[in-house]
Structure 1
Amino acid sequence: MKIRTFIATASLLASGGLMAFSGSAQAALYTTCVGDGGAVTVNNDLVVPAGKSCTLTGTKVKGTVTVEAGADLVAAGATFNGAVNVEGNAYLDLTDTTVKGALTTRAAFGAHLENSSVKGGVTATQGFVYAVDSALSGSVSAESGELYVSGSTLSGSLTGVGNQYTDVYDSTVKGALTVSGNTLGGVLCASEVYGAAEYRGNSDTLQLGGEGLLGSCAGATYFGGDVSVTDNTANAVLDNAIVRGGLTATGNTPVLVVGDLARIRGTVTGETAAAGASAARSAKKAAPQDRGSDLAGKAAQRAAEARADAHEAGTSRL
């Protein structure tokens, strides 16, 4: 792996038209990664330079990890003690990896997490977040992208705002769930939400448990608090679900359909409709559209390209 360590110095301060040193110079140590790296410890920050690719296997990084614009980082069995930042059109792929800090992506191509843990929360703006069989502590928030979570445990809240969709399968959300302004709606399938759940201002399709236009959902869904489904212009269905709190369903066009297998323990406010035979037939005819397969394809292609680029760059002892 072509790894180089740099010392960057700072800083100059402008005041009243004069340039002056402000205090003593600060030294920052960082390591660049281009190519394939193995089971070593990086004692400082690690940077994948813009447009380059880095693969890490069993690597430990004590500082911050930054994937610069257009770069790729594919890691397996790694440990990152600090934060991970992913910049514009960059890609992050983590398998069996632990991130002890926060994960932040800004206009990235995407982030794929599998059998991994992020302890400092996840914040994404644009791009996709695709989390499978992972443990996500802190809050998870995605805006203006695609959010797909499967087989995972989230210890905090989950928020999807202005995305194409926010889909959650076979997962546990211990905090609140908020899905708003998603153009293709969202799915909540065979999952548990222990905080309040809100679906507001979404379009296209909302499937909260049961069968719907996005296919069949095996397994019941559980809401530990109140559920609010409001101001959506989406075909919305709530079925095969237990709601321990109340249900608010106002301003939806069409109205929220509540299936025969939905159990609502609290008060129902607003307008709902029972699932009719025609709606059931339409749901069964609809081909399942699990959007995870599309994301898996995108992630696999980008990761394969990154591995090829990294392999071409070569390897070296650290």
Structure 2
Amino acid sequence: MKIRTFIATASLVASGTLVAFSGSAQAALYTTCVGDGGAVTVSNDLVVPAGKSCTLTGTKVKGTVTVEAGADLVAAGATFNGAVNVEENAYLDLTGTTVKGALTTESAFGTHLEKSTVKAVDATAGFVYAVDSTLGGNVRTEAGELYVSGSTLSGSLTGEGNQYSDVYDSTVKGALTVDGNVLGGVFCAGEVYGAATWAGNADTLQIGGEGALGSCAGASYFGGDLSFTDNTAAAVLDNAIVRGGLTATGNDPVLVVGELTRIRGAVTGETAVAGASSARSAGRAAPQDRGAGLAEKAAERTAAARADAHEAGKSL
């Protein structure tokens, strides 16, 4: 592998695994990564070329990071000062890594964040799987799979048109919106300080307590208003404290409210007591935590990416 630096029409060739390009004297210099990168500083943008794999350990990138179509980037202990963009069928795996700019994905295979800090997330299609991470801005996912566990979000969290949006043991300091999810969603043992809304979802919504998606032993806290509207999902709200009011309108079946729920504000709409949910839940097998499936999917892609990068060779 080689380093090639192009500025205008001049070029310099040296040994190594990072390749830097610039189309003109005015264009920004960028570095490509194919293979294993170590604790170096990249002073410009970093690109993982289409279909290639890059692993970074302790690397610092001062510019924007782009993972092109079908490519893989696996980073541990890295720092990205700029934005990160993940393209179609590409994959991003970050462990103990800081992203100071926004993370944007477009029809990506998926994104796995573990013990990492990211400014904001905007994802269309693919999965977002965040564990024990800090998300500093708004998080929005659309038409994919969303799973958040043990994490803190400084802004809002939105799951729109996803397969599902599941949140466990996490704090959302802004608003929470789950809209039009095909398989509904779970909220377990978490906190939301803005308004929380579940609207137009199908299949199952389990907000605390016992339900078709398993058992949630911890209590949940909602600092603002809570709204369930126009859902066709079998929905259960239990073991929760709601500081604001509850709106439950247009739901079929109606929202089931468990005996451990405490609502401080007014209740608008139609609800049912917890005992009425047993007949609906009868005969439905409780699936495993959906995070296990995402963890397996992420682990397989990560392992393949590491193998490809190792085969390509080591960096400086």
Q: TM-score range by the shorter chain?
A: over 0.9
1:215: which partner in 2?
214
Question: Post-superposition shift, 1:289?
Answer: 2.6
- Decide whether the 8 Å contact of 1:216 with 1:288 is kept in 2: no
- Decide whether the 8 Å contact of 1:166 with 1:186 is kept in 2: yes
User: In 2 relative to 1, CA 266–280 (structure 1 residues): closer, same or farther, beyond 3 Å?
Assistant: farther
Q: TM-score, length-normalised on structure 1? A: 0.92
Q: For 2:227, give the aligned amino acid.
A: S
| 2:306 alignment partner, SS class | helix
Question: Post-superposition shift, 1:316?
Answer: 3.2
1:4: which partner in 2?
19
User: In 2 relative to 1, CA 277–258 (structure 1 residues): closer, same or farther, beyond 3 Å?
Assistant: closer
1:21: which partner in 2?
none
| Distance in 2 between residues matched to 1:199 and 1:163, nearest whole Å | 12
Question: Post-superposition shift, 1:314?
Answer: 0.6
1:88: which partner in 2?
88
Question: Post-superposition shift, 1:88?
Answer: 0.2
Question: Post-superposition shift, 1:26?
Answer: 1.9
1:201: which partner in 2?
200
For 1:143-163, what per-residue CA distance to the aligned partner results, in whole angstroms no more than 9, with x for missing partners? 000010000000000000000
| 1:311 alignment partner, SS class | helix
| Distance in 2 between residues matched to 1:283 and 1:114, nearest whole Å | 36
User: In 2 relative to 1, CA 314–283 (structure 1 residues): closer, same or farther, beyond 3 Å?
Assistant: farther
| 1:248 alignment partner, SS class | strand
2:243: which partner in 1?
244
| Distance in 2 between residues matched to 1:240 and 1:284, nearest whole Å | 23
Q: For 2:30, give the aligned amino acid.
A: Y
Query: 2:133 matched to 1:118?
Result: no
Q: TM-score, length-normalised on structure 2? A: 0.93
2:8: which partner in 1?
none
Question: Post-superposition shift, 1:181?
Answer: 0.3
- Decide whether the 8 Å contact of 2:125 with 2:142 is kept in 1: yes
Q: For 2:63, give the aligned amino acid.
A: G
| Distance in 1 between residues matched to 2:231 and 2:122, nearest whole Å | 25
| Distance in 2 between residues matched to 1:218 and 1:129, nearest whole Å | 24
Query: 2:70 matched to 1:70?
Result: yes
- Decide whether the 8 Å contact of 2:38 with 2:315 is kept in 1: no
- Decide whether the 8 Å contact of 1:212 with 1:283 is kept in 2: no
Query: 2:38 matched to 1:33?
Result: no
| Distance in 1 between residues matched to 2:31 and 2:163, nearest whole Å | 36
User: In 2 relative to 1, CA 225–124 (structure 1 residues): closer, same or farther, beyond 3 Å?
Assistant: same
Q: For 2:238, give the aligned amino acid.
A: D
| Distance in 1 between residues matched to 2:281 and 2:231, nearest whole Å | 20
Structure 1, 101-110 or 275-284: larger mean CA deviation: 275-284
- Decide whether the 8 Å contact of 1:215 with 1:283 is kept in 2: no
Q: For 1:135, give the aligned amino acid.
A: T
CA RMSD of aligned residues (A): 1.5
User: In 2 relative to 1, CA 35–226 (structure 1 residues): closer, same or farther, beyond 3 Å?
Assistant: same
| 1:179 alignment partner, SS class | strand
Q: For 1:59, give the aligned amino acid.
A: T
User: In 2 relative to 1, CA 309–206 (structure 1 residues): closer, same or farther, beyond 3 Å?
Assistant: same
| 1:102 alignment partner, SS class | strand
| Distance in 1 between residues matched to 2:285 and 2:239, nearest whole Å | 18
- Decide whether the 8 Å contact of 2:256 with 2:276 is kept in 1: no
For 1:263-313, what per-residue CA distance to the aligned partner results, in whole angstroms no more than 9, with x for missing partners? 111100000000117618947974343100000000000000000000000
| Distance in 1 between residues matched to 2:222 and 2:18, nearest whole Å | 49
Structure 2, unmatched stretches of 5+, are 1-15
Q: For 1:275, give the aligned amino acid.
A: A
User: In 2 relative to 1, CA 182–285 (structure 1 residues): closer, same or farther, beyond 3 Å?
Assistant: closer
Question: Post-superposition shift, 1:218?
Answer: 1.2
| Distance in 2 between residues matched to 1:294 and 1:283, nearest whole Å | 24
For 1:88-121, what per-residue CA distance to the aligned partner results, in whole angstroms no more than 9, with x for missing partners? 00000000000000000000000000000002x1
Q: Which runs of structure 2 are paired with 1:121-136 in the superposition (5 Å)? A: 121-136=120-135
For 1:183-221, what per-residue CA distance to the aligned partner results, in whole angstroms no more than 9, with x for missing partners? 000000000000000000000000011111000001100
Q: For 1:88, give the aligned amino acid.
A: E
Q: For 2:310, give the aligned amino acid.
A: H
| Distance in 2 between residues matched to 1:5 and 1:183, nearest whole Å | 44
Q: How many residues align?
A: 301
| Distance in 2 between residues matched to 1:46 and 1:72, nearest whole Å | 13
Q: For 1:27, give the aligned amino acid.
A: A
Question: Post-superposition shift, 1:3?
Answer: 1.0
| 1:276 alignment partner, SS class | helix
| 1:211 alignment partner, SS class | strand
Question: Post-superposition shift, 1:5?
Answer: 1.0
| Distance in 1 between residues matched to 2:277 and 2:205, nearest whole Å | 18
| 1:175 alignment partner, SS class | coil
Structure 1, unmatched stretches of 5+, are 10-24
